[in-house]
Amino acid sequence: MQWEDRIGRRLRLRDVHILHAAVQCGSMAKAAERLAISHPVVSKTIADLERALGVRLLERSRQGVEPTPYGNAVLKHGLAAFDELKQCVKEIEFLADPAAGELRIGSIIPLAANFVSAVIDRLSRRYPRIVFHLVTAHVEALRRDLGERNVDLLIARRFGLFTDGQCNFETLYDDSYVVVAGAQNPWARRRRIALAELVNEPWALPPPESAIGVAATEAFRASGLDHPRVTVITIPYEVRSSLLATGRFLTILPTSALGISTKRLELKVLPVELPLARVPIGIVNLKNRTPSPIARLFIEHAREVAKPLAKLRQ
């Protein structure tokens, strides 16, 4: 296939954009409505694309349309091309005005509330006109946002989702898990506590299949204990923190979740040794994706903020 003759003059980014809209909407009619163009224009654009490439890009049925493997390949590389152009525009804007711009960062709430906020504070003092979009969600959603290029980078714990060959992971520091109670909890006055003593206490923990749920199971199992009696099963960090503040409940948290919240809600890290390996916290971005100048600035500041944390946890 000759690029100039078969594709170079026929394949346009607008066409890929229309194909993407059709796949997202699951219907050419809905894509036409979203893009404010006619249904025939959408149909003709996709038919022309298929003719230029010599393969079928969409499977059509009464239920709508869905991409073929060829369609998925076009979308994958087409969206990467769109992203590179967007990054190019960002770089031009930054070169024209290094003090301004936008950055989209994804993270889980505990890291966003502490480490990421500290990096943003440091960077925004030097570049006060940069706008930061901080997206918080669970790990699976963050990985999806990164893959779809809805965020520029993530600050996250190292998980299998980030070691699939499509992402770069740069470790900033190692995190650990701790048992936490409210300051009014009777256990908060103890100087030394064995994990076995806490088995029958009321616990507030995420589901067993979650990262912290797995950590809790591993910690008790490694100590020769059964899983503790869980009174409240819930994921949100804020809910568990509020339960701890009653003085009755215990939970397990990463140390990165502490700091500001510990002072505000009067939480107490209990002197309990958890037999768990440390978890790397780092920067996640897509391989072969050109980071914007502001993303590079953020990464530089993140490394600086992480230095004392890395030394503290050695």
- Please choose, from the candidates 215, 214, 213, 220, the residue with its C-alpha nearest in 3D space to the C-alpha of residue 234: 213
Q: Are residues 290 and 253 both part of a single domain?
A: no
Residue 57 in tokens = 């890009």
Q: Are residues 128 and 150 both part of a single domain?
A: yes
Q: What is the DSSP-derived secondary structure letter of residue 6?
A: I
pLDDT attached to residue 199: 92
Distance CA 296, CA 2 (A): 38
pLDDT attached to residue 260: 45
Residue 86 belongs to a domain: no
Low-confidence ranges of the chain (pLDDT < 70): 1-11, 96, 98-99, 160-161, 163, 259-265, 311-314
The torsion of the CA quartet 306, 308, 312, 313, rounded to 10 degrees, works out to: 20
Residue 223 belongs to a domain: yes
Domain that holds residue 181: 177-269
pLDDT attached to residue 50: 83
Q: Are residues 145 and 111 both part of a single domain?
A: yes
Residue 85 belongs to a domain: no
pLDDT attached to residue 312: 54
H helix and E strand count, the chain = 11, 12
Q: Are residues 260 and 136 both part of a single domain?
A: no
pLDDT attached to residue 8: 53
pLDDT attached to residue 265: 55
Distance CA 272, CA 196 (A): 10
Q: Are residues 117 and 101 both part of a single domain?
A: yes
Q: Are residues 264 and 194 both part of a single domain?
A: yes
Structural domain count, the chain: 3
Cβ-in-10-Å burial (0-12, 13-18, 19+) of 58 comes to buried
Q: Are residues 151 and 299 both part of a single domain?
A: yes
Residue 92 belongs to a domain: no
Distances (CA, A) of 282 to 49, 228, 237, 286: 41, 30, 20, 13
Contact between residue 257 and residue 116 where contact means Cβ atoms under 8 Å apart: no
Q: What is the CATH number of the domain that holds 241?
A: 3.40.190.10
Per DSSP, helices labelled H in the chain are: 13-25, 28-35, 39-53, 69-96, 109-111, 117-126, 139-147, 211-222, 237-244, 260-265, 293-312
Residue 84 belongs to a domain: no
Q: Are residues 49 and 184 both part of a single domain?
A: no
Q: Are residues 163 and 182 both part of a single domain?
A: no
Q: Are residues 302 and 158 both part of a single domain?
A: yes
Q: Are residues 148 and 288 both part of a single domain?
A: yes
Distance CA 118, CA 148 (A): 26
Residue 294 belongs to a domain: yes
Residue 156 belongs to a domain: yes
Give the model confidence (pLDDT) of 158-211 as tens digits. 876 676 778 899 999 998 889 999 999 999 999 999 999 999 999 999 998 887
Give the model confidence (pLDDT) of 237-264 as tens digits. 889 988 998 999 999 988 877 754 444 4
Residue 91 belongs to a domain: no
Q: What is the CATH number of the domain that holds 57?
A: 1.10.10.10
